[in-house]
């Protein structure tokens, strides 16, 4: 029996709900019950109809599910799959900021460890950051942690000052304006779809700027036959499903997240067979972090 078929059989037999990110391998996306961006994954975990959830994504995504679903079992097929940007945040720096500016608000990207969420006022994702921050008091001093490039984009979009944590996604930050200009020379009629974790210079060349879910939606609606994709290559599988007739051009060959791609069907099968690895977030970190996540869901709805 093929590994994918065995997974489909086993998840039904063991009542496991599989959630995957758009950056996962195509074959991983295909066996999932739900595929989405980090915000949608969090909501899907919270609303899961089953008591066991397997998260095919990096560690903070599995942690978010465990935070939101304390009564459920959350599995990760690859516990070492992590996010360099999330890991770069030093909680001591955040605590020192809060002490220095006691009336400030800490807005943390969902791409952060549970301990950072626990000292945050609210979480956001690239799909809802502008909407949520626009609802916060206009006179509030805000620390946005991380991504620095996303923070710059949101600040520009809202015409609002934000204090930014100096950390970026190494995958998105690797793309340069010259990369985009070179692709435009080869495909002059193509639209450029950019994730806001890219640098301001790259964002400035975009026809559309948005989260992975936003890019997918825009690609489906676009009348253009050629699209230059400026985010992790995994999204191309979902775009091909909804827009099979379009030519997708990856802006840069380095737009591959090795941590996302470290999750394979074999590892998912092993996780289902052995009920490993269970993800848990200790108290009181979980109960503190859940407030920031639930506020995100409430403000974004």
Per-residue model confidence as pLDDT tens digits over 119-147: 999 999 999 999 999 999 999 999 999 99
Distance CA 260, CA 22 (A): 9
- What is the reported pLDDT for 57? 97
Q: For the chain, what percent of residues have pLDDT higher than 90? A: 98
- Average per-residue pLDDT for the chain: 96
Phi, psi of 230 (to 5 degrees): -115, 65
- Residue 81's CB: how many other CB atoms inside 10 A? 23
Q: Yes or no: say if 148 and 164 are a contact pair by the CB < 8 Å rule.
A: yes
**Neighbouring residues of 126: CB distance < 8 A, sequence distance ≥ 6:** 37, 38, 109, 150, 195, 196, 197, 210, 211, 212, 214
Structure tokens belonging to residue 295: 């506020």
Domain at 3-82+260-281, CATH homologous superfamily: NadA-like (3.40.50.10800)
- What is the reported pLDDT for 113? 96
pLDDT at 301 over 90: no
pLDDT at 244 over 80: yes
Distance CA 182, CA 120 (A): 40
- What is the reported pLDDT for 242? 93
Q: Where exactly are the structural domains of the chain?
A: 3-82+260-281, 85-168+288-300, 175-254
- What is the reported pLDDT for 291? 97
Query: For the domain bounded by 175-254, which CATH number is listed?
Result: 3.40.50.10800
Q: 60-98: per-residue pLDDT in tens?
A: 999 999 999 999 999 999 999 999 999 999 999 999 999
DSSP state of 278: B
Query: Mean per-residue pLDDT for 268-281?
Result: 97
Query: Mean per-residue pLDDT for 201-225?
Result: 97
Q: What do you get for the CA distance between the two ends of the chain, in Å? A: 42
H or E, element range at 73? strand 73-75
* Fold exhibited by the domain 85-168+288-300: Rossmann fold (3.40.50)
Do 3-82+260-281 and 175-254 share a fold?
yes
pLDDT at 1 over 80: no
């Amino acid at each position: 029996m093929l590994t994918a078929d065995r997974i489909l059989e086993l998840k039904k037999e063991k009542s496991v709900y599989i959630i995957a990110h758009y950056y996962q391998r195509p074959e991983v996306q295909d066996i999932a019950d739900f595929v989405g961006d980090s915000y949608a994954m969090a909501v899907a975990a919270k609303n899961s109809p089953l008591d066991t959830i397997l998260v095919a994504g990096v560690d903070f995504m599995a942690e978010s599910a465990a935070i939101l679903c304390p009564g459920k079992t959350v599995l990760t097929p690859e516990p070492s799959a992590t996010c360099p940007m999330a890991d770069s945040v030093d909680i001591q720096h955040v605590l020192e900021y809060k002490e220095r500016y006691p009336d400030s608000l800490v807005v943390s990207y969902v791409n952060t460890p549970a301990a950072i969420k626990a000292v945050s006022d609210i979480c956001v994702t690239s799909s809802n950051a502008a909407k949520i921050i626009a609802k916060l008091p206009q006179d509030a001093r805000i620390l946005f942690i991380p991504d620095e490039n996303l923070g710059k984009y949101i600040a520009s979009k809202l015409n609002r000052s934000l204090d930014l944590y100096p950390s970026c996604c190494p995958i998105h930050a690797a793309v340069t304006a010259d990369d985009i200009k070179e692709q435009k020379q080869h495909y002059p009629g193509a639209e450029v779809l950019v994730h806001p974790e890219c640098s301001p210079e790259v964002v400035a060349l975009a026809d559309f700027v948005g989260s992975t879910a936003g890019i997918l939606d825009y690609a489906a609606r676009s009348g253009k036959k050629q699209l230059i994709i400026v985010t992790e290559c995994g999204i191309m599988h979902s775009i091909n499903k909804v827009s099979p007739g379009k030519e997708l051009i990856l802006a840069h060959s380095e737009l591959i997240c090795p941590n996302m791609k470290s999750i394979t069907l074999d590892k998912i099968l092993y996780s289902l067979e052995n009920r490993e690895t269970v993800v848990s977030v200790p108290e009181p970190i979980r109960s503190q972090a859940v407030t920031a996540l639930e506020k995100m869901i409430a403000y974004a709805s």
